[in-house]
Amino acid sequence: MSSDVERIKELLNIADVVGEYVDLKPAGSYYKANCPFHKEKTPSFIVTPDRGTYRCFGCGASGDVFSFVQEFEGLDFKGALRLLGSRAGVEIKERGDGAFKKKRDRLFVATEKATEFFEESLINSKNALKYLRERGVLEKTQKEWRLGYAPAQWRALYENLLGGGVTETDMKEAGLIKMKENKTYDTFRDRLIFPIFDASDNIIAFSGRALNPTDKAPKYLNSPDTEIFNKSEVLYGLNKAGRSIRRTGYAVLVEGQFDMIMSQQAGVENTVALSGTSVTDEHIKRLKRFAKNILLAFDSDEAGIHSAYKTAALAFKEGMDVKIARLPKDKDPADCIRENRSEWKRILTDAPHAVLHTLNYIKETFSEKRKRINAIHEFTFPMISLIESEMDQSYFIGIIADELNIPFENVRADVERYSSRNLTERTTHTDRRDFKEIDHLLDRSDVPRVEKITNLAAVLLRWLENSSQAVYSAGLLRSQIDSVDPDFAEKISKREEEMEGGSETAEMELRYGILDTSGVVSYSDELVFRFKTARLEEKIEDLQKKIKETNENEDIDQEALSEYQQYSRELHDIRASRSEGEARYITE
């Protein structure tokens, strides 16, 4: 296995591999880009081909070509090995089916054999095949996506897999069977089966569509979360759509498996679908790794439209651009494609920006001005407040102002109030989550002191990154560190006070002395940088307000202006010095 790894590294240039996922720009002997693992405006993600490594100076992500593919594609090492081996033309020799085969591998065997059984059952089911053809699915598409059928029997799959050497335990842990009152039965019965794949084309789960829906049985039934499947992260079809999404620069997101298959069949190969859940942050982050633009094509009923608006807000929060397709009333994508595939492509091409879609929907739905205003607050403000471009924000605010005949500044003020309130809610939520994490950590007597402090430092960095009250949050965290090691906390507090007074010695001790001996050197440099910049940013913000107030009275406070310029230069120098340090590190 190790020789395969070295051969792949020799054959694949890390810059070529990473460049398929992110937009790398040459910078001397290395390449840089915005980090694909966290949100940032200034590139801090560096790829060094000579070393075969990558490193982000913003979030700390680092490693080689294998760890990058693992992280980006959501694979384990073996999955990354298969994927990179295929790209490099290296045949990976799999180990035998011995007793020590890992659990994940056994589950993959179970899902693969289940898929083969479902495929064979579909071929033998006239009703299931007829239903597929009526829905417009071609035989070629059926085979490409390995569609199948679960017979209307209680134990057909169970008995087939048992006879094929799959244990009952593995079937249960793969979500293929259920147990009740000591009786075992198949999870999927009398359903059209859609296998769900990971990035390496392993089958990790299934979604079953009832051929004869009843009030007792749901129309769609999905595999439960397992060791190889997390529905909150997986997007159906991404294993095939990924390259097309990168090539076109955008992803088409639909709600159902039929919608995705029919869209791909119609030639829109950058289409993916959800897997039995609402859109999550993880879904959006995964798509953003492939492209920064997303086109939502959800059902045209009220539930679909509202779901699209919530999804758009999540995407805007991640810095993506969003459009929403305008489908004919009471139609889903699969219906549109079956009736006229050319019309489907036109619908996607003409899709308006998400904010314009909401405004059109509100205008068509509500005739009273008061109701329109309430709907704009509910659906449109969450989107506008998350758009990064101030020009785009102003553009949409202007449209709302014109539409409602309300002064531009009044609408902007409402958007800003919404943004401020929403930020407070998000910050409070983050802090509560981190406090739970801290409490859990401190309660564990088995965790060594150094590890506790390391984890507490990691939480501190999250706070400094996300909280609008960074210094205050840092103080809260130091009180938690104090409960682990009072002497350590006292040293940090003392050095920070001395740093604020301009002591370079205190800064050096905080960076290299105290934290290094406590095993958190990887966090210490970042902690110092963030502490200093947070203090300066606070002072600059206060001075900006002071200058603005005096300027309104046509009497600028020259002393405040001088301090503002001084602190701005200091902040610039700190950031520039840090960038130079990173450059030296890269070229060493």
What mean pLDDT do residues 195-210 have? 92
User: Is the pLDDT reported for residue 158 higher than 60?
Assistant: yes
389-427 pLDDT, tens per residue?
Answer: 889 999 999 999 998 899 999 999 888 888 766 644 444
CA atoms within 13 A on the CB side of 412: 10
User: Is the pLDDT reported for residue 243 higher than 90?
Assistant: no
CATH number of 238-351: 3.40.1360.10
| The two three-digit tokens of residue 399, written as one number | 């449209």
Question: Left (φ > 0), alpha (ψ -120 to 50) or beta: where does 519 sit?
Answer: left
* Arch. (CATH architecture) of 2-88: Alpha-Beta Complex (3.90)
Query: In angstroms, rounded to a whole number, what is the distance separating the alpha carbons of residues 582 and 580?
Result: 5
Q: 53 with 61: CB under 8 angstroms?
A: no
What mean pLDDT do residues 480-507 have? 53
User: Is the pLDDT reported for residue 33 higher than 60?
Assistant: yes
Average pLDDT over the chain reads: 79
Confidence of residue 557 (pLDDT cuts 50, 70, 90): low
Confidence of residue 548 (pLDDT cuts 50, 70, 90): low
Identify the pLDDT of residue 222.
Answer: 92
- Examine domains 2-88 and 103-222 and report if their fold is the same: no
Query: In angstroms, rounded to a whole number, what is the distance separating the alpha carbons of residues 516 and 229?
Result: 39
User: Is the pLDDT reported for residue 542 higher than 60?
Assistant: yes
What mean pLDDT do residues 538-561 have? 68
To which residue do tokens 């560096």 refer?
A: 46
User: Is the pLDDT reported for residue 261 higher than 80?
Assistant: yes
User: Is the pLDDT reported for residue 48 higher than 80?
Assistant: yes
Query: In angstroms, rounded to a whole number, what is the distance separating the alpha carbons of residues 73 and 86?
Result: 15
Q: In terms of Cα–Cα distance, which of 202, 356, 220, 226 is closest to 275?
A: 220
User: How many residues are present in the chain?
Assistant: 588
**DSSP for 282-338, written as a single string:** HHHHHHHTT-SEEEEE--SSHHHHHHHHHHHHHHHHTT-EEEE--PPTT--HHHHHH
176-188 pLDDT, tens per residue?
Answer: 999 988 899 999 9
Identify the pLDDT of residue 549.
Answer: 66
**Taking the CB of residue 166, how many other CB atoms lie within 10 A of it?**
23
Q: 331 with 301: CB under 8 angstroms?
A: no
Q: Which of 16-30, 286-300, 476-490, 542-556 has the lowest mean pLDDT?
A: 476-490
User: Is the pLDDT reported for residue 23 higher than 80?
Assistant: yes
To which residue do tokens 């939502």 refer?
A: 296
Query: In angstroms, rounded to a whole number, what is the distance separating the alpha carbons of residues 529 and 142?
Result: 55
CA-to-CA dists, residue 238 to 57, 73, 289, 297, 462, angstroms: 29, 10, 12, 16, 30
Identify the pLDDT of residue 4.
Answer: 79
Identify the pLDDT of residue 422.
Answer: 62
103 Cβ neighbours under 8 A, 6+ residues apart: 173, 227
Q: Side chain identity at 341, as an amino acid letter? A: R
What mean pLDDT do residues 237-250 have? 89
Confidence of residue 449 (pLDDT cuts 50, 70, 90): low
**CA-CA-CA-CA dihedral for 150, 153, 154, 160, to nearest 10:** -60
| Residue ranges of domains in the chain | 2-88, 103-222, 238-351, 447-587
CA atoms within 13 A on the CB side of 323: 16
SS3 for 535? helix
Q: In terms of Cα–Cα distance, which of 141, 160, 165 is closest to 150?
A: 160
User: Is the pLDDT reported for residue 193 higher than 90?
Assistant: yes
Q: 484 with 443: CB under 8 angstroms?
A: no
Q: Side chain identity at 18, as an amino acid letter? A: V
User: Is the pLDDT reported for residue 442 higher than 80?
Assistant: no
CATH H-level, domain 103-222: superfamily: DNA primase, catalytic core, N-terminal domain (3.90.980.10)
Identify the pLDDT of residue 139.
Answer: 96
For 62, list phi and psi in degrees, rounded to 5. Answer: -160, 165
Q: Which of 104-113, 467-476, 491-500 has the lowest mean pLDDT?
A: 467-476
Identify the pLDDT of residue 552.
Answer: 52
Who has greater pLDDT, 135 or 303? 135
Identify the pLDDT of residue 445.
Answer: 57
Confidence of residue 551 (pLDDT cuts 50, 70, 90): low
Identify the pLDDT of residue 497.
Answer: 55
pTM: 0.65
Identify the pLDDT of residue 472.
Answer: 39
Confidence of residue 35 (pLDDT cuts 50, 70, 90): confident
Angle at 562 between CA 560 and CA 565, to 5 degrees: 110
521-540 pLDDT, tens per residue?
Answer: 344 455 556 556 766 777 78
